[in-house]
């Protein structure tokens, strides 16, 4: 018995079962030596192998590149000669095993099946998923395909093609494209034919990495809009790209880096529009003015309702949170609510460089022996998703007022609780955190954020008034400003039986204001 077998058997004679990689790490032997040794011992009946393979997801930290995760298939080995079940895992001898192909039983192995399939279809190219589906009857799984193909690639027998990003390749959506390289005839012609086959197989799909594909689409759309003497809004780009807002944000940022002739213009510092440098100055000036008029009319109504929503949430907090002390702040901008608080950032968060605003901040002291709790409120009139929650948390972390440095990085101070009030939360949002799929409310709980839904406020109204048709959303839409929201809610609370009459009078009084908003929107929308 050689030293390798002695080391492996010495390890396996102890308690427990080990994979080949475990044996390598514990004995210090090479991977090839361990694999060959385990195969010999298994065939001789000195060790047992798990009947079914295990799939293990392993994360590897790669420095600035982040953490990569790989799915690896492996077997477990333990000492013994008779098949048995240990801890729910069936261990079998070589004679009793029906899955011997990988360890040289004389039947066709998965690697041989994959090689034969590609060679028999050398005039075609296949995605890795298609190879797996075609050979599913022979027990071939997805990890088997690329493990075998990489060996064939090193021998120069298979051409593998993926997205080319910098100095590395990444797989297409269906995996890498694979095709057999003809061994007969000139090598150059064989390689050109392989490339042509993969190109033909990828027809109808982007031939470059999705990020580069989106960058090219952005440039094309901006140039087309510029030719029509129009500006392309960020919202239009997101809609036409058909991807998530995260992906669109990265693609737009990359496009502006790669193509200096693409320009960005921010209207009122918030709304982003894009154009090509070839647009004449007079046309650009006219297009910007039209967009400003459009934003004033359409976005003005949304801003009004959004501010009213802030005031409604504040009123309920002030009414039901006994002892809540709101912070206030003087602002340079005339008419800005003093209860909106400006925070100072120690690093940029999104588009905010030095400062960020939160809608309300209040402090509650539960008791004389309890520490005070400070609540920070963020409101949004519209659909709230994961990005909104992440952005809010980043503002809290990196603010001077509410963030703190810890041994694990930047965090929110103890005693600070974030509250996010949204008019609607995305019901289809699924957040994948490690190996879990979380709903938006569950994800918010993990971030220690409290969510306020309109139904939470409507429940209080319905109990007070007794009318389920009365909603906070309706009050926000028909009131002119934040002061009117507060006074309307106060009147309804004081005279619940007169609630519908009060809202009807309010809607009639503001009818001219609504008509003006509607007229401005209709006049501006066709030109935008």
pLDDT of 105 reads 45
Report how far residue 310's alpha carbon sits from residue 304's, in angstroms, rounded to the nearest whole number. 10
φ, ψ for residue 155 (rounded to 5)? -85, 0
Q: What DSSP state is assigned to residue 30?
A: -
Contact 180, 122 (CB under 8 A): yes
Cite the DSSP H helix spans in 28-82: 31-43
CATH 1.10.10 fits 210-279, yes or no: yes
Which residues are CB-neighbours of 284 under 8 A, at least 6 positions away?
275
Per-residue pLDDT tens over the stretch 301-312? 777 888 899 999
pLDDT band at 392 (very low <50, low <70, confident <90, very high): very high
pLDDT reading at 108 higher than 50: yes
pLDDT in tens, 365-383: 887 777 889 999 999 988 8
Q: Is 210-279 the same fold as 3-103?
A: yes
pLDDT band at 136 (very low <50, low <70, confident <90, very high): confident
Higher pLDDT, residue 16 or 254: 254
CB 86, CB 99: distance < 8 Å: no
Q: Where are the domains of the chain?
A: 3-103, 110-201, 210-279, 299-520
Please tell me whether residue 155 adopts helix, strand or coil conformation: coil
pLDDT tens by residue, 241-290: 877 777 888 889 888 988 989 999 988 666 789 999 999 999 999 988 88
Beta strands in 217-348 (DSSP E): 232-233, 262-267, 271-276, 325-326, 341-344
The answer to whether the beta carbons of residues 178 and 160 sit under 8 Å apart is yes
**pLDDT value at residue 367:** 76
DSSP state letters, 240-252: HHTS-HHHHHHHH
- Find the helix or strand (DSSP H, E) in which 425 lies: strand 416-425
Is the CATH number 1.10.10.10 carried by domain 110-201?
yes
| Contacts for 75 with CB less than 8 Å, ≥ 6 apart | 19, 20, 49, 50, 53, 54
The CATH code belonging to domain 299-520 is 3.40.1350
CATH class of 3-103: mainly alpha
Residue whose C-alpha is closest to residue 194's, from 163, 165, 168, 156:
156
Q: What is the C-alpha to C-alpha distance for residues 121 and 490, in angstroms, rounded to an integer? A: 77
pLDDT band at residue 316, thresholds of 50, 70 and 90? very high
Is the CB of residue 410 less than 8 Å from the CB of residue 403? Answer: yes
- Cα gap 262→219, rounded to integer Å: 7
Which residue in 430, 340, 441, 317 sits closest to 389, CA to CA?
441
Q: What digits encode the pLDDT tens for the residues 32-87? A: 888 889 888 888 888 888 888 888 877 766 665 566 667 778 889 988 888 888 88
What is residue 104's predicted lDDT score, i.e. its pLDDT? 45
**Whole-prediction pTM:** 0.49
- Decide: residue 173, CB within 10 A, 0-12 exposed, 13-18 middle, 19+ buried: exposed
Q: How far apart are CA 312 and CA 210, in angstroms?
A: 43
């Amino acid at each position: 018995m050689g030293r390798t077998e002695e080391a492996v058997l010495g390890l396996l004679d102890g308690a427990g079962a080990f994979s080949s990689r475990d044996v390598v790490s514990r004995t210090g032997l090479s991977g090839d030596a361990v694999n060959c040794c385990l195969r010999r011992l298994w065939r001789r009946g000195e060790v047992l192998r798990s009947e079914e393979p295990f799939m293990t997801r392993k994360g590897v930290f790669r420095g600035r590149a982040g953490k990569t995760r790989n799915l690896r298939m492996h077997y477990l080995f333990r000492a013994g000669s008779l098949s048995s079940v240990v801890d729910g895992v069936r261990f079998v001898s070589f004679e009793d095993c029906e899955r011997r192909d990988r360890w040289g039983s004389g039947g066709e192995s998965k690697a041989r099946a994959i090689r034969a399939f590609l060679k028999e279809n050398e005039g075609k190219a296949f995605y890795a998923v298609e190879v797996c589906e075609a050979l599913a009857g022979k027990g071939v799984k997805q990890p088997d395909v690329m493990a075998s193909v990489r060996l064939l690639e090193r021998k120069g027998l298979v051409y593998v093609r993926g997205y080319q990003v910098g100095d590395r390749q990444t797989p297409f959506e269906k995996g890498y494209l694979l095709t057999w390289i003809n061994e007969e005839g000139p090598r150059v012609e064989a390689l050109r034919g392989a490339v042509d086959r993969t190109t033909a197989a990828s027809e109808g799909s982007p031939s470059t990495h999705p990020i580069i594909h989106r960058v090219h689409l952005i440039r094309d759309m901006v140039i087309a809009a510029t030719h029509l003497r129009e500006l392309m809004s960020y919202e239009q780009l997101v809609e036409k790209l058909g991807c998530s807002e995260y992906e669109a944000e990265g693609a737009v940022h990359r496009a502006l880096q790669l193509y200096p002739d693409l320009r960005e213009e921010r209207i009122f510092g918030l709304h982003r529009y894009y154009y090509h440098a070839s647009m004449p100055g007079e046309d650009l000036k006219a297009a910007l003015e039209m967009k400003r008029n459009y934003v004033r009319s359409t976005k003005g109504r949304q801003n009004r309702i959004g501010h009213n929503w802030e005031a409604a949430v504040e009123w309920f907090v002030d009414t039901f949170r006994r002892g809540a002390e709101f912070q206030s702040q003087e602002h340079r901008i005339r008419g800005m609510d003093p209860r909106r608080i400006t925070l100072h950032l120690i690093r940029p968060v999104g588009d905010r460089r030095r400062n960020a605003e939160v809608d309300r901040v209040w402090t509650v002291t539960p008791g004389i022996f309890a520490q005070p709790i400070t609540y920070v409120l963020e409101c949004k009139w519209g659909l709230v998703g994961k990005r909104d929650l992440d952005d809010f948390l980043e503002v809290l972390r990196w603010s001077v007022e509410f963030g703190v440095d810890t041994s694990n990085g930047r965090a929110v101070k103890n005693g600070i609780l974030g509250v996010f009030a949204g008019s609607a939360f995305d019901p289809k949002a699924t957040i994948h955190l490690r190996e879990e799929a979380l709903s938006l409310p569950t994800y918010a709980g993990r971030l220690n954020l409290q969510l306020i839904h309109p139904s939470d406020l409507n429940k209080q109204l319905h109990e007070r008034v007794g009318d389920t048709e009365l909603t906070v959303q309706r009050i926000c839409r028909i009131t002119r400003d934040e002061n009117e929201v507060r006074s309307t809610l106060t009147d309804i609370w004081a005279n619940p039986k007169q609630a519908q009459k009060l809202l009807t009078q309010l809607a009639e009084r503001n009818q001219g204001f609504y008509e003006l908003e509607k007229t401005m929107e209709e006049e501006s929308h066709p030109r935008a």
